[in-house]
Chains A and B, each alone.
Chain A
Amino acid sequence: MTGSPIYREHHPKWLRPRMSTWWWLEKWAFVKFILRELSSVFVAWFVVYLLLLFRAVRDGDGAYQNFLAFSANPIVLTVNVVTLFFVVFHALTWFALAPRAMVVHIGKKKVPPFLIGVGNYGGWIMVSAGIFWFLLR
Protein backbone atom coordinates (compact mmCIF):
# COMPACT_ATOMS: atom_id res chain seq x y z
CA MET A 1 0.00 0.00 0.00
CA THR A 2 1.41 3.35 -0.99
CA GLY A 3 0.17 6.93 -0.78
CA SER A 4 -1.81 8.40 2.06
CA PRO A 5 -5.28 6.99 2.63
CA ILE A 6 -8.26 9.32 2.70
CA TYR A 7 -9.69 9.40 6.21
CA ARG A 8 -13.36 10.14 6.59
CA GLU A 9 -15.21 10.50 9.80
CA HIS A 10 -17.49 7.60 10.70
CA HIS A 11 -16.48 5.70 7.62
CA PRO A 12 -16.21 2.00 8.34
CA LYS A 13 -13.06 0.20 7.45
CA TRP A 14 -13.39 -1.86 4.26
CA LEU A 15 -13.52 -5.56 4.75
CA ARG A 16 -11.76 -7.05 1.81
CA PRO A 17 -10.34 -10.47 2.45
CA ARG A 18 -7.27 -11.05 0.29
CA MET A 19 -8.02 -13.56 -2.43
CA SER A 20 -5.45 -16.11 -3.39
CA THR A 21 -3.96 -15.81 -6.88
CA TRP A 22 -5.15 -19.41 -7.34
CA TRP A 23 -8.80 -18.73 -6.44
CA TRP A 24 -9.90 -20.13 -9.80
CA LEU A 25 -8.66 -23.64 -8.98
CA GLU A 26 -11.60 -24.13 -6.61
CA LYS A 27 -14.16 -24.99 -9.25
CA TRP A 28 -14.03 -26.49 -12.75
CA ALA A 29 -16.18 -23.59 -14.01
CA PHE A 30 -13.53 -21.14 -12.78
CA VAL A 31 -10.73 -23.18 -14.34
CA LYS A 32 -12.62 -23.13 -17.62
CA PHE A 33 -13.00 -19.39 -17.33
CA ILE A 34 -9.26 -18.88 -16.83
CA LEU A 35 -8.44 -21.33 -19.66
CA ARG A 36 -10.75 -19.34 -21.93
CA GLU A 37 -9.02 -16.13 -20.93
CA LEU A 38 -5.61 -17.74 -21.49
CA SER A 39 -6.63 -18.95 -24.96
CA SER A 40 -6.28 -15.32 -26.07
CA VAL A 41 -2.51 -15.52 -25.48
CA PHE A 42 -2.30 -18.34 -28.01
CA VAL A 43 -4.54 -16.48 -30.44
CA ALA A 44 -2.06 -13.59 -30.24
CA TRP A 45 0.91 -15.96 -30.68
CA PHE A 46 -0.67 -17.37 -33.81
CA VAL A 47 -1.12 -13.88 -35.27
CA VAL A 48 2.63 -13.39 -34.79
CA TYR A 49 3.23 -16.80 -36.41
CA LEU A 50 1.03 -15.84 -39.39
CA LEU A 51 2.91 -12.56 -39.79
CA LEU A 52 6.19 -14.49 -39.89
CA LEU A 53 4.66 -16.71 -42.58
CA PHE A 54 3.51 -13.71 -44.65
CA ARG A 55 6.94 -12.12 -44.36
CA ALA A 56 8.55 -15.37 -45.50
CA VAL A 57 6.26 -15.55 -48.54
CA ARG A 58 7.08 -11.94 -49.35
CA ASP A 59 10.82 -12.70 -49.20
CA GLY A 60 10.71 -15.63 -51.62
CA ASP A 61 10.89 -19.41 -51.76
CA GLY A 62 14.10 -19.64 -49.72
CA ALA A 63 12.57 -17.68 -46.85
CA TYR A 64 9.42 -19.85 -47.08
CA GLN A 65 11.53 -23.03 -46.80
CA ASN A 66 13.25 -21.49 -43.77
CA PHE A 67 9.85 -20.81 -42.25
CA LEU A 68 8.82 -24.45 -42.77
CA ALA A 69 12.08 -25.54 -41.09
CA PHE A 70 11.37 -23.11 -38.24
CA SER A 71 7.88 -24.59 -37.85
CA ALA A 72 9.44 -28.06 -37.39
CA ASN A 73 11.66 -26.85 -34.54
CA PRO A 74 10.67 -28.91 -31.45
CA ILE A 75 9.97 -25.83 -29.32
CA VAL A 76 7.84 -24.15 -32.00
CA LEU A 77 6.07 -27.45 -32.64
CA THR A 78 5.30 -27.89 -28.94
CA VAL A 79 3.97 -24.33 -28.68
CA ASN A 80 1.76 -24.98 -31.70
CA VAL A 81 0.37 -28.23 -30.24
CA VAL A 82 -0.67 -26.22 -27.16
CA THR A 83 -1.95 -23.46 -29.48
CA LEU A 84 -4.15 -25.93 -31.35
CA PHE A 85 -5.64 -27.13 -28.07
CA PHE A 86 -6.40 -23.57 -27.00
CA VAL A 87 -7.82 -22.30 -30.31
CA VAL A 88 -10.12 -25.34 -30.55
CA PHE A 89 -11.14 -24.77 -26.92
CA HIS A 90 -11.75 -21.12 -27.74
CA ALA A 91 -13.81 -21.99 -30.84
CA LEU A 92 -15.95 -24.56 -29.00
CA THR A 93 -16.65 -22.32 -26.01
CA TRP A 94 -17.18 -19.27 -28.24
CA PHE A 95 -19.74 -21.00 -30.45
CA ALA A 96 -21.45 -22.54 -27.43
CA LEU A 97 -21.83 -19.10 -25.90
CA ALA A 98 -22.88 -17.18 -29.00
CA PRO A 99 -26.51 -18.41 -29.15
CA ARG A 100 -27.02 -17.12 -25.62
CA ALA A 101 -25.38 -13.75 -26.25
CA MET A 102 -26.93 -13.13 -29.65
CA VAL A 103 -30.65 -12.73 -30.16
CA VAL A 104 -31.63 -12.69 -33.83
CA HIS A 105 -35.08 -11.83 -35.09
CA ILE A 106 -36.49 -12.65 -38.50
CA GLY A 107 -39.54 -10.46 -38.93
CA LYS A 108 -41.15 -10.64 -35.52
CA LYS A 109 -40.02 -14.15 -34.79
CA LYS A 110 -37.08 -14.94 -32.61
CA VAL A 111 -34.66 -17.37 -34.20
CA PRO A 112 -34.32 -20.32 -31.79
CA PRO A 113 -30.88 -20.30 -30.11
CA PHE A 114 -30.04 -23.82 -31.24
CA LEU A 115 -30.33 -22.69 -34.90
CA ILE A 116 -27.75 -19.97 -34.26
CA GLY A 117 -25.54 -22.62 -32.71
CA VAL A 118 -26.01 -24.87 -35.74
CA GLY A 119 -25.23 -21.90 -38.00
CA ASN A 120 -22.03 -21.19 -36.09
CA TYR A 121 -20.74 -24.73 -36.17
CA GLY A 122 -21.82 -25.07 -39.81
CA GLY A 123 -19.96 -21.88 -40.69
CA TRP A 124 -16.89 -23.13 -38.84
CA ILE A 125 -16.89 -26.41 -40.77
CA MET A 126 -17.36 -24.60 -44.09
CA VAL A 127 -14.61 -22.06 -43.45
CA SER A 128 -12.25 -24.84 -42.32
CA ALA A 129 -13.07 -26.91 -45.40
CA GLY A 130 -12.46 -23.81 -47.55
CA ILE A 131 -9.02 -23.30 -45.98
CA PHE A 132 -8.12 -26.96 -46.55
CA TRP A 133 -9.27 -26.75 -50.15
CA PHE A 134 -7.35 -23.56 -50.89
CA LEU A 135 -4.12 -24.81 -49.34
CA LEU A 136 -4.14 -28.48 -50.33
CA ARG A 137 -5.64 -28.61 -53.81
Chain B
Amino acid sequence: MAKSHRRPIEPLLWVLFSGGGVASAMLMPALVFLFGLAFPLGWLPATTYEHLRPVLLHPLTRLVLFGVCMLSLFHWAHRFKYTLYDGLQIKHLNEAVNTFCYGGAVVGSIVAGYVLSRLG
Protein backbone atom coordinates (compact mmCIF):
# COMPACT_ATOMS: atom_id res chain seq x y z
CA MET B 1 0.00 0.00 0.00
CA ALA B 2 1.74 3.11 -1.22
CA LYS B 3 -0.92 5.35 0.24
CA SER B 4 -0.63 4.35 3.86
CA HIS B 5 0.40 7.89 4.80
CA ARG B 6 -3.07 9.11 3.77
CA ARG B 7 -4.88 7.05 6.39
CA PRO B 8 -5.67 9.62 9.14
CA ILE B 9 -9.18 9.94 7.69
CA GLU B 10 -9.93 6.33 8.70
CA PRO B 11 -10.90 7.07 12.37
CA LEU B 12 -13.33 9.77 11.21
CA LEU B 13 -14.94 7.36 8.74
CA TRP B 14 -15.22 4.79 11.49
CA VAL B 15 -16.93 7.31 13.81
CA LEU B 16 -19.40 8.15 11.04
CA PHE B 17 -19.95 4.43 10.44
CA SER B 18 -20.71 3.66 14.08
CA GLY B 19 -22.78 6.82 14.54
CA GLY B 20 -24.85 5.71 11.56
CA GLY B 21 -25.10 2.23 13.03
CA VAL B 22 -26.61 3.60 16.23
CA ALA B 23 -28.89 6.13 14.50
CA SER B 24 -30.29 3.66 11.99
CA ALA B 25 -30.71 0.92 14.62
CA MET B 26 -32.59 3.29 16.95
CA LEU B 27 -34.93 4.98 14.47
CA MET B 28 -35.33 2.87 11.37
CA PRO B 29 -37.21 -0.22 12.57
CA ALA B 30 -40.14 1.91 13.81
CA LEU B 31 -40.14 4.14 10.72
CA VAL B 32 -39.91 1.21 8.27
CA PHE B 33 -42.70 -0.56 10.12
CA LEU B 34 -45.00 2.49 9.95
CA PHE B 35 -44.26 4.05 6.55
CA GLY B 36 -43.22 0.81 4.85
CA LEU B 37 -45.85 -1.65 6.08
CA ALA B 38 -48.46 -0.48 8.59
CA PHE B 39 -49.66 2.57 6.61
CA PRO B 40 -49.72 1.04 3.11
CA LEU B 41 -51.34 -2.16 4.36
CA GLY B 42 -53.92 -0.25 6.39
CA TRP B 43 -52.95 -1.81 9.74
CA LEU B 44 -52.82 1.70 11.18
CA PRO B 45 -54.30 4.94 9.86
CA ALA B 46 -51.60 6.84 7.97
CA THR B 47 -50.46 10.08 9.57
CA THR B 48 -52.40 12.89 7.88
CA TYR B 49 -50.63 15.59 5.95
CA GLU B 50 -51.91 18.27 8.34
CA HIS B 51 -50.36 16.41 11.24
CA LEU B 52 -47.11 15.29 9.60
CA ARG B 53 -46.14 18.65 8.12
CA PRO B 54 -45.67 20.59 11.38
CA VAL B 55 -43.82 17.63 12.95
CA LEU B 56 -41.39 17.57 10.02
CA LEU B 57 -41.07 21.33 9.86
CA HIS B 58 -39.83 21.64 13.42
CA PRO B 59 -36.13 22.60 13.29
CA LEU B 60 -35.19 19.92 15.80
CA THR B 61 -36.90 17.17 13.76
CA ARG B 62 -35.13 18.37 10.65
CA LEU B 63 -31.78 18.45 12.39
CA VAL B 64 -32.24 14.93 13.78
CA LEU B 65 -33.44 13.60 10.43
CA PHE B 66 -30.51 15.19 8.62
CA GLY B 67 -28.15 13.55 11.11
CA VAL B 68 -29.88 10.19 10.68
CA CYS B 69 -29.73 10.40 6.87
CA MET B 70 -26.13 11.56 6.72
CA LEU B 71 -24.78 9.11 9.30
CA SER B 72 -26.78 6.20 7.86
CA LEU B 73 -25.35 6.88 4.42
CA PHE B 74 -21.79 6.84 5.76
CA HIS B 75 -22.68 3.68 7.65
CA TRP B 76 -23.77 2.14 4.35
CA ALA B 77 -20.65 3.38 2.57
CA HIS B 78 -18.33 1.77 5.12
CA ARG B 79 -20.13 -1.56 5.30
CA PHE B 80 -20.87 -1.85 1.62
CA LYS B 81 -17.24 -1.20 0.83
CA TYR B 82 -16.25 -4.24 2.84
CA THR B 83 -19.12 -6.27 1.40
CA LEU B 84 -17.60 -5.66 -2.00
CA TYR B 85 -14.08 -6.36 -0.73
CA ASP B 86 -14.82 -9.55 1.19
CA GLY B 87 -17.98 -10.84 -0.40
CA LEU B 88 -17.10 -10.33 -4.04
CA GLN B 89 -13.33 -10.09 -3.49
CA ILE B 90 -12.88 -7.17 -5.85
CA LYS B 91 -9.97 -5.64 -3.98
CA HIS B 92 -8.35 -4.61 -7.26
CA LEU B 93 -11.15 -2.06 -7.82
CA ASN B 94 -10.22 -0.28 -4.60
CA GLU B 95 -10.35 3.30 -5.90
CA ALA B 96 -13.60 2.85 -7.82
CA VAL B 97 -15.32 1.20 -4.85
CA ASN B 98 -14.19 3.96 -2.46
CA THR B 99 -15.32 6.69 -4.83
CA PHE B 100 -18.69 5.02 -5.37
CA CYS B 101 -19.37 4.39 -1.66
CA TYR B 102 -18.11 7.57 -0.02
CA GLY B 103 -19.00 9.71 -3.02
CA GLY B 104 -22.52 8.32 -2.84
CA ALA B 105 -22.70 9.12 0.88
CA VAL B 106 -21.52 12.70 0.31
CA VAL B 107 -23.94 13.31 -2.57
CA GLY B 108 -26.80 11.71 -0.60
CA SER B 109 -26.04 13.91 2.43
CA ILE B 110 -26.08 17.03 0.27
CA VAL B 111 -29.44 16.01 -1.20
CA ALA B 112 -30.79 15.32 2.30
CA GLY B 113 -29.59 18.70 3.53
CA TYR B 114 -31.12 20.41 0.50
CA VAL B 115 -34.52 18.71 0.81
CA LEU B 116 -34.72 19.18 4.58
CA SER B 117 -33.67 22.83 4.47
CA ARG B 118 -36.37 23.60 1.91
CA LEU B 119 -39.33 21.90 3.53
CA GLY B 120 -41.04 25.11 4.54
A41 within 8 A of B: yes
What are 13 A-B contacts defined by CB distance under 8 Å? A38-B83, A40-B80, A47-B69, A47-B73, A51-B111, A64-B52, A68-B46, A71-B35, A84-B32, A87-B28, A94-B21, A124-B26, A135-B47
Q: Please, what's the 1-or-0 string for A19-35, where 1 marks a CB less than 8 Å from any CB in chain B?
A: 10100100000000010
Q: Hey, which bits of chain A sit against chain B, CB under 8 A?
A: 19, 21, 24, 34, 36-41, 43-44, 46-51, 53-55, 57-58, 60-61, 64-65, 68, 71-72, 76-77, 80-81, 83-84, 87-88, 90-91, 94-95, 98, 123-124, 127-128, 131-132, 134-136
Interface residue count for B (Cβ, 8 Å)?
A: 55
Q: Please, how many angstroms separate the alpha-carbon atoms of A48 and B79 in the complex?
A: 17
Pairwise interchain contact A21-B32, C-beta atoms closer than 8 A: no
Pick from A44, A57, A83, A88: contact of B53, CB below 8 A: A57
**Interface of chain A, main secondary structure:** helix
The answer to whether residues A84 and B76 also contact, given A37-B83, A128-B29, A132-B30 and a CB cut-off of 8 A, is no
Q: Please, how many angstroms separate the alpha-carbon atoms of A43 and B17 in the complex?
A: 12
The answer to whether residues A58 and B118 also contact, given A21-B89, A71-B40, A127-B27 and a CB cut-off of 8 A, is yes
Q: Hey, which bits of chain B sit against chain A, CB under 8 A?
A: 20-22, 24-37, 39-41, 44-47, 49-53, 55-56, 65, 68-69, 72-73, 75-76, 78-80, 82-83, 86-89, 104, 108, 111-112, 115-116, 118-119
